[in-house]
Structure 1
Amino acid sequence: MTTSRPAPDAVPPPGCPAHAGGSAARPAGSPGVERLYGPEFAADPMATFTRLRAHGSVAPVEIAPGVAAWAVIGYDTALEVLRSPDRFSKDPRRWKALADGTVPADSPVVPMMMYRPNALWTDGEEHERLRTVIADSLGRVDPGALREHVERGADVLIDRIGPEGRADLLGEYGAVLPLLVFQRLFGCPEDIGGKLARGMAGVFDADADSERANAVLAEGLAELVALKRRRPGPDVTSWMMAHPHGLTDEEMIHQLVLLLGAGIEAEQNLICNALRLLLSDDRFAGDLAGGSMPVEDALDEVLWNDPPMANYAIHYPIRDEELDGTLVRAGEPMLMSFIAVHGDPALAGDRRVGNRAHLAWGVGPHTCPAKSPARLIATVAVEKLLDRVPDIELAVGADELRWRQGPFNRSLVSLPVRFPPVVPARRSSTDRGGDAEQAPPPAPSVPSGPAPGAGGAGSAHGAPGHWWDSLARWWHGR
């Protein structure tokens, strides 16, 4: 609940709770300011948030060396911020510490927090215009065709790892399948897709290489936009370009940054975190062995306890705001710490299983417009793997798994598993294009209906199955 705000130049009385913990302007690295990065935080983020609860539902944190912010860790306070666009802006141009040079432009978190003219970092009418383009274009994707496409891609990858009897499910399945889906839905050739995946992963890691990764990402997206301007097709990128709102090339690039991050990096985390849970939690073991895979329950629990974007949805107070007794100055970044918000002791009882009141998809005007296809992709990816490899198990103890150390996402470093070798699925020679080493091509067009003036599917880079064939060659090191 928000109370009246003191005048900006007012002197706080001794012991004022709004100033007891300082504001985010307090220098990063000060005693008592917790770090939301590094090996200790990655290994056990809830230990950090448990200590932060002494501050209340809003606490000062450091998200990179020298970069201070607020972590919103209370459920009700997060709802208040997310549902109040008149008080809390998404526009990073309000970030005072970046604007005045306190945070250097080459800080590793800047690529994930910098202003981009896309639906994530805009407000009001501009946000609505950009969001409409995304929602309308994604709305043209047929869910049935999408499911079939994910199943085909999953089969290809399982055929690759199956005979080996062991795999890294992150590097060889969870990270690859969302990339294949993105390439197909967005008409992206595999050479550009690989560049985009590498760039986006580096940006999410928020380390010393983030600035270079951001440059790689920008280069790949510019190539994709230029390609689709020349040769539009029946894909989401072309549909966005053909939308009546008429996006510029720059706007197209930055909408694709948003969709790429959600469609590849966050999707990878959702898939792999769900697989980790299903393979390590005894509550699911009986159901898996009995053939009844509670994948939907596992996804809900992951979205509660290990959400793919653990600390993000950054907002900036438009004016000084007092939240739960803590003063947050205008222009100070506030991260919604979903992983902490969902663990708020104020939430009565165990509300996880079968409950979708989590905030992982966002709330308010910036609710994720792609949550239905994202959930479908993750569900099919997990179901297909467990169906074809029923005796799969972790190759190491669950407590030996390592997590990436960036402040924003909850992502494993790897997910090693073992299983009895699996024979590749039998397919007709027509499906395999007459070559047992080639992956089967999916349907010529997963999305339904071409964009105005679009050419045939895959017209820019050969026949519809071309990139799947290239995937097979790449997978075998050719």
Structure 2
Amino acid sequence: MDATTPDAVPPPGCPAHAAIPLYGPDFAADPHAYYNYARTYGPTAPVELAPGVDATLVTDYTAALNLLQDNSTFRKDARRWRAFNEGLIPPDSPVVPLLAYRPNAMFSDGAEHLRLRQAITDTMGRIDTGRLARSTEQISDYLISQFGSRGSADLMADYAKQLPLFVFNELFGCPADIGDRILFGISGMFDGINAERAAEVLFGAVGELVALKRSRPGDDVTSWLMQHETRLTDEEMVYQLSLLLGAGAEPLRNLIGNTLHRILTHDKYASQGGLIDEAMEDTLWENPPVPNLAPHYPATNVEFAGQKFEAGDLIMVSFAAANASPSLAAARQSGSNRAHLAWSAGPHSCPSKDPARQITLSAIENLLNRIPDIAAAVPENSLTWRPGPFTRGLAALPARFTPLPAPGRVPAADQARPDHRAEPSGTARKTAGGWSRFLKWLTS
């Protein structure tokens, strides 16, 4: 959904002169209507992230950039969250697991942040781009083999949702049963569905991965991070890995899906030969996979963007709204296509944006090369977006195409869609998971 002209009339489901709700089906259907209305408050606006959870949302690009780059006035440590400390936040709120303090780089400041950030940056810098490209293409081929002969697919469930998990299984040296539970945990935390349980499953699964790599290190991100000179403890390992996986799998799923949605619903890209890179950048500008996040807390009482804030107030950045600031229109037209804030900015900007770009481009390029006549199977206005303030992704993206020849490498018993549902108990799966089926396909 592209940005529209600001309008002083509250959008459907948004009461006038009250905190703007960033949840529910109306917000999911047209978030930019809410952002446009939020701009009538000025550079910041009062919002409600979930029932009973109030925050201030920065919607102006310049104000957002100032906040993200000012780590002396604004801190990331969520233990400063005043409303939470005063018992004003419902403990079972679906947004708490994503906002509550964790001992990781996202929620740290100063020297501790530099230490953790350096370990992450150095580790991610060891990823071989050639290996990543080959792995992404192989996984893409496998997923296409699962639905290609049908002539139809849900590009979210059959492709965009699964590909990041498989890629991260490879990068992080993650066994299938642990990977299934990691995806369950990440999805639940972002969607706010049984979020507390989802967080337990995520951290438990990552803890198993850390224990596995302590005893059997490999040539993978988990082992490299464990071997870094910072000598992270097991607890620190769990929380840094959970951050990397959460900041990778779920947003990457949405970036792939949202870019595919853009390509399939905008004639511009087909008429110009399928400009995948341009489609991805336009998506990051106008439909970013993480539209609102970057929680910050003033260290002291402060005036910011014309408003007064108390120490510990929750201030969030709307990357989606900031990218659509009217003042940026000229910059985009002049060719500054990467000045968006989809990767955040400042000391806490995404450390994995380069691998994320490469995975997205490789995944989409391989899909379009293998299935050049792929097209949307339903009208765009019938698509449903998943609700929630933090994530922007489709519930489904039905597509149709000329059926491919039936795969010859995948045994018939294995051609069912890989099942990524976590076991309710969080225990290891006793049946072969999707990752095991991929390895069998690869070596057959």
TM-score by length of 1: 0.82
Aligned to 1:384: 366
Q: 1:412 aligns with which of 363, 371, 394?
A: 394
Distance 2:283 2:215 in 1: 41
Corresponding position of 2:263: 278
Q: Which residue of 1 aligns with 2:437?
A: 470
Number of residues paired by the alignment?
A: 412
Contact in 1 for aligned 2:292/2:317 (Cα 8 Å): yes
Contact 2:119 2:225 in 1 (8 A): yes
Distance 1:158 1:386 in 2: 11
**Which residue number corresponds to residue 426 of structure 2?**
none
CA distance in 2, matches of 1:363, 1:341: 12
- Amino acid corresponding to residue 348 of structure 1 in structure 2: A
Q: How does 1:362-401 map to 2 (within 5 A)?
A: 362-401=344-383
Picking from 173, 180, 194, the partner of 2:180 is 194
Secondary structure of the 1:106 match is: coil
Q: Deviations over 1:323-345 (max 9, x none)?
A: 22211221111111011001111
Match of 1:337, as an amino acid?
A: S
Q: Match of 1:147?
A: 133
Amino acid at match of 2:131: A
Aligned mates of 1:118, 1:192 — CA distance in 2: 21
Of residues 347-356 and 49-58 in structure 1, the stretch that sits farther from structure 2 once superposed is 347-356
For residues 211 and 30 of structure 1, the distance between their equivalents in structure 2, rounded to whole angstroms, comes to: 32
1:344 paired residue number:
325
Q: CA deviation at 1:222?
A: 1.2
Contact 2:139 2:438 in 1 (8 A): no
Task: Kindly indicate whether residue 327 of structure 2 is the aligned counterpart of residue 360 of structure 1.
Answer: no
TM-score of the aligned structures, taking structure 2 as reference length: 0.88
Shift, 1:283, TM fit: 1.4
Question: After alignment, is 271-280 or 248-257 more displaced?
Answer: 248-257
1:130-153 alpha-carbon deviations (Å, 9 max, x no partner): 111111111111101110110010
In the alignment, structure 2 segments of 5+ residues that lack a partner are 1-13, 416-432
1:212 is the counterpart of 2:197: yes
Residue of structure 2 aligned with 1:321, choices 302, 307, 323? 302
Instruction: Report the Cα offset of residue 354 of structure 1.
Output: 6.3
Q: Hey, what's the Cα distance between the residues in 2 that align with 1:184 and 1:373?
A: 13
Give runs of ≥4 in structure 1 deviating > 3 Å. 28-31, 424-427, 435-439, 466-469, 471-474
In 1: Cα distance, 2:406 partner to 2:103 partner: 45
**Structure 1 58/256 Cα, relative in aligned 2: closer, same or farther at 3 Å?**
same
The one-letter code sitting in structure 1 at the alignment partner of 2:291 is: A
Alignment match, 1:445: none
Alignment of 1:65-214 (within 5 A): 65-207=51-193, 209-214=194-199
Relative to structure 1, the CA distance from residue 437 to residue 52 in structure 2 (aligned partners, 3 Å threshold; closer, same or farther) is: same
The 8 Å contact of residues 206 and 407 in structure 1, kept in 2 or not, is answered as: no
User: Partners in 2 of 1:135 and 1:425 — Cα distance?
Assistant: 40
Q: Does 1:311 align with 2:292?
A: yes
* CA offset digits 1:36-76 (Å, max 9, x no partner): 11101000001111111111011100001100001100000
- 1:312-371 CA distances to partner (integer Å, 9 max, x unpaired)? 111111122222221122111111101100111122337177610001111111111111
- SS of residue in 2 equivalent to 1:351: helix
Residues 437, 149 of structure 1: CA spacing in aligned structure 2 closer, same or farther, 3 A cutoff? farther
Map 1:430-445 to 2 at 5 A.
Answer: none
The answer to whether residue 228 in structure 2 is matched with residue 243 in structure 1 is yes
Note the C-alpha offset of 1:374.
Answer: 0.6
- 1:351-401 CA-to-partner distances (Å, cap 9, x unmatched) read 177610001111111111111111000000010111111111111111111
Contact 2:58 / 2:316 at 8 angstroms: preserved in 1? yes
Q: Distance in 1 between matches of 2:183 and 2:339?
A: 31
SS at match of 1:355: coil
Please tell me the residue identity of whatever aligns with 2:369: D
Letter of the 2:399 counterpart: V
Aligned CA distance change for structure 1 residues 211 and 76 (closer, same or farther; 3 Å): same
| Separation in structure 1 between the aligned mates of residue 24 and residue 439 of structure 2, nearest angstrom | 37
Query: Aligned letter for 2:63?
Result: T
Aligned 8 A contact 2:178 2:209 in 1: yes
Instruction: Please list the CA deviations of residues 208-267 of structure 1 after superposition, one character each: whole Å capped at 9, or x if unmatched.
Output: x11111111121111111111111111110111111101111111111111111221010
Structure 2 equivalent of residue 222 of structure 1:
207
Matched AA of 1:73? T
Question: How far apart, CA to CA, are the structure 1 residues paired with 2:413 and 2:367?
Answer: 21
- % same residue: 48
2:249 partner amino acid = I
User: Secondary structure of 1:348's match?
Assistant: helix
Name the structure 1 match of 2:405.
423
**What is the CA–CA distance in structure 1 between the aligned matches of 2:56 and 2:256, rounded to whole Å?**
29
The CA distance in 2 between the partners of 1:424 and 1:119, in whole Å, is 46
Report the 3-state secondary structure (helix = DSSP H, G, I; strand = E; otherwise coil) of the residue aligned with 2:244. helix
| Bigger fraction of residues in helix | 2
Partner of 1:47: 33
- Kindly provide the amino acid, as one letter, of the partner of residue 311 in structure 1: N
Q: Give unpaired runs (5+ residues) of structure 1.
A: 1-27, 440-465
What letter corresponds to residue 97 of structure 2 in structure 1?
Answer: P
Q: CA deviation at 1:472?
A: 7.1
Between 225-234 and 319-328, the greater mean CA deviation after superposition: 319-328
Question: Aligned-pair RMSD on alpha carbons?
Answer: 2.3
Greater mean alpha carbon deviation, residues 34-43 or residues 312-321: 312-321
* C-alpha contact 2:186 2:198 (8 A) present in aligned 1: yes
Range with bigger deviation, 315-324 or 127-136: 315-324
Tell me the secondary structure at the aligned position of residue 410 of structure 1.
coil
Partner of 2:247: 262
Give 1:471 deviation, angstroms.
3.8
Q: Is 1:97–1:103's contact at 8 Å kept on the other side of the alignment?
A: yes
Superposed CA offset, 1:429-461 (max 9, x none): xxx8xx68779xxxxxxxxxxxxxxxxxxxxxx
Quick one: which amino acid aligns to residue 107 of structure 1? S
- Gap change, CA 1:424 and 1:387, over 3 Å in 2: farther
